[in-house]
Structure 1
Amino acid sequence: MARLTTLHDAVSELVHDGDTVALEGFTHLIPVAAGHEIIRQRRRDLTLVRMTPDIVYDQLIGAGCARKLIFSWGGNPGVGSLHRFRDAVQHAWPEPLELEEHSHAGMANRYVAGASGLPFAVLRGYIGTDLPKVTTTIAPITCPFTGERLTAVPALNPDVTIVHAQRADRRGNVQLWGLLGVQKEAVLAARRAIVTVEEIVDELTPMPGAIVLPSWAITAVAEVPGGAHPSYAQGFSERDNDYYAAWDGIGRDRDAFIVWLDQHVRTGRDA
């Protein structure tokens, strides 16, 4: 059952060096504050997992937290490339970065398999692409019923999944709504789960289109208002487009990045 705690204590207890860690959220409800707490606690050798890794993964990679990235598409949405990501791949700075690339559908199906207790998922999406040539976790499979040639991908079961949501009740049930990604599947697939929320309330109020992550699926809940910034949390905050634009210049330069990291993350004062 989920327990209410602080973000510092949740990361300290549940995120370990060498873990496979998924921070999920799609455009909306991205758990940026949790990523910064991982940086502050200087976790190392992490395998980072995410559909569409954006600037918080650029920051984690640049801070030396990551050994490997399992992903589908990576970039600064609406702006361009992730320059700390690029520097790690091209120049091994600050650490070499191993890549495992999938399609969006492949990543989503891997989480679903993990959440379902299955060893792998099967889909058509990789047929005719070059990804199977460079990604060892994509394998051909023949349907035993029709003989159709398909593709299998292994289940994803992160050691820790971290998501951000709008609210939780005092029993640790979490409610989120708006533009959703694979948060539910990523939480259910994980061995441990941390959720940061905008607010903790006595009772969850029904919302159109909302989903509820039950307390039994979550390890820890931390109240972190603004924990998705610069992404947005529907009903609580707007997307900070200026932040994404400014990140391009900061991320391009190693020295500028280190100054930003020291001033805005390592001091405990989130950007």
Structure 2
Amino acid sequence: MPDFMTLPEAISRHIHDGDAVAFEGFTHLIPHAAAHETIRQGRRDLTLIRMTPDIVYDQMIGMGLAARLVFSYAGNPGVGLLRRLRDAVENGWPNRPVVDEYSHAAMANAYEAGAAGLPCAVFRGYLGAELAEVNPNVRALRCPFSGERLAAIPALRPDVAVIHAQRADRRGNVLIEGITGVNKEVVLAARRAVVTVEEIVPVLDAHPNACVLPRWTVDAICHVPGGAHPSYAHGVYDRDNAFYLEWDRISADRDAFARWMDAHVLRADPAVFEQRVRHLGSRA
């Protein structure tokens, strides 16, 4: 059964310098609040794993947390590139992380392999593609039964998985509604799992098969309403499209980025966060 604790307690207990950490969530339920707390606690030398690095990873990279990036598509969804990621990779500001780039299919299969306890993922992919030329972890093998040429990459086994969900019950079972992405697989693949939720309820009031993550898969649950903003939480609040557009302007300049992070993350006023949570709730 997981422990119920505050977000600062969960990050302090479960994420350490040098860890491989996956902050997952596909289009919605992206754990922004947990990532911000990781930044506030000054974690360093992390391997950041995510299928679709977007602005939450742009912020972590720009603050110097990333020693290595393991990802598929990276960008500000619907807007353009990630300016802090690009500055880090091209110019080494504030540091230059190692890059392991894969396809979406590869990442999904690698999480699945990690969840199954397998050493690698084997799948159809990369035929005619050039990604293997820049990522030595992309290998090829022959099926021993059909002779078919297949792709193989190492399984993903993060030290920590961090996800956001709509609700958990008091026993620690987690309900995810809407797009689940790879949230189940990353939690099962990881050694430790932290889940932030919009709501903690006595019972989930859902069919047992709707419980994506039973309590034995999770180590810590934190009550963090609004914890996915500016992404959305299906059935709770909408995506803040204006912020994604604004982030392109903020992140384009190092000084503007640093000022925004200082005001909104490093020295964030809890009262302001609570006010934003109430605002989000009114949009549900």
TM exceeding 0.5: yes
Contact 2:168 2:199 (8 Å CA) reproduced: yes
Q: Which has the higher helix share?
A: 2
Q: CA deviation at 1:147?
A: 1.1
Q: Deviations over 1:20-76 (max 9, x none)?
A: 000000001000000000100010000000001100000000011101100001000
Structure 2 Cα separation of the partners of residues 239 and 53 of structure 1:
17
Partner of 1:64: 64
Is the contact made by 1:139 and 1:152 (CA closer than 8 Å) also made in structure 2?
yes
Deviation at 1:207, TM superposition (A): 6.7
Specify the alignment match of 2:170 in structure 1.
170
Aligned to 1:153: 153
Question: Secondary structure at the residue paired with 1:265?
Answer: helix
Assess if the C-alpha contact under 8 Å between 1:159 and 1:192 holds in 2.
yes
Q: Which residue does 2:55 correspond to in 1?
A: 55
Tell me, in whole angstroms, the C-alpha distance in 2 between the residues paired with 1:206 and 1:219.
22
Match in the other structure for 2:281: none
| Superposition deviation, residue 268 in structure 1 | 3.2
Give, in whole Å, the separation in 1 of the partners of 2:108 and 2:264.
32
Q: Which SS does the other structure have where 2:171 is aligned?
A: coil
- 1:39-118 equivalent positions in 2, closer than 5 A: 39-118=39-118
Question: CA separation in 2, counterparts of 1:207 and 1:31?
Answer: 25
Per-residue CA shift, 1:197-224, capped at 9, x if unaligned? 0010000021799442011110000000
The two structures have a TM-score, normalised by structure 2, of: 0.93
Q: Does the 8 Å contact 1:40/1:268 carry over to 2?
A: no
CA contact (8 A) 1:177 1:207 kept: no
Counterpart residue type for residue 72 of structure 2: S
- The equivalent of 1:127 in structure 2 is 127
Determine if the alignment matches structure 1 residue 24 to structure 2 residue 16.
no
Q: Give, in whole Å, the separation in 2 of the partners of 1:28 and 1:19.
A: 24
- Structure 1 equivalent of residue 258 of structure 2: 258
Task: Indicate whether 1:212 and 2:207 are aligned.
Answer: no
Measure how far apart 1:230 and its partner are. Answer: 0.3
Q: CA deviation at 1:126?
A: 1.0
Match of 1:9 in 2: 9
> Residue 13 of structure 1 aligns to which amino acid in structure 2?
R
Gaps of 5+ in 1: none
Which residues of structure 2 form unaligned runs of 5+? 277-284
Distance in 2, Cα, partners of 1:181 & 1:83: 25
Mapped to 2, the partners of 1:207 and 1:152 lie a distance apart of: 36
Q: Aligned pairs, how many?
A: 271
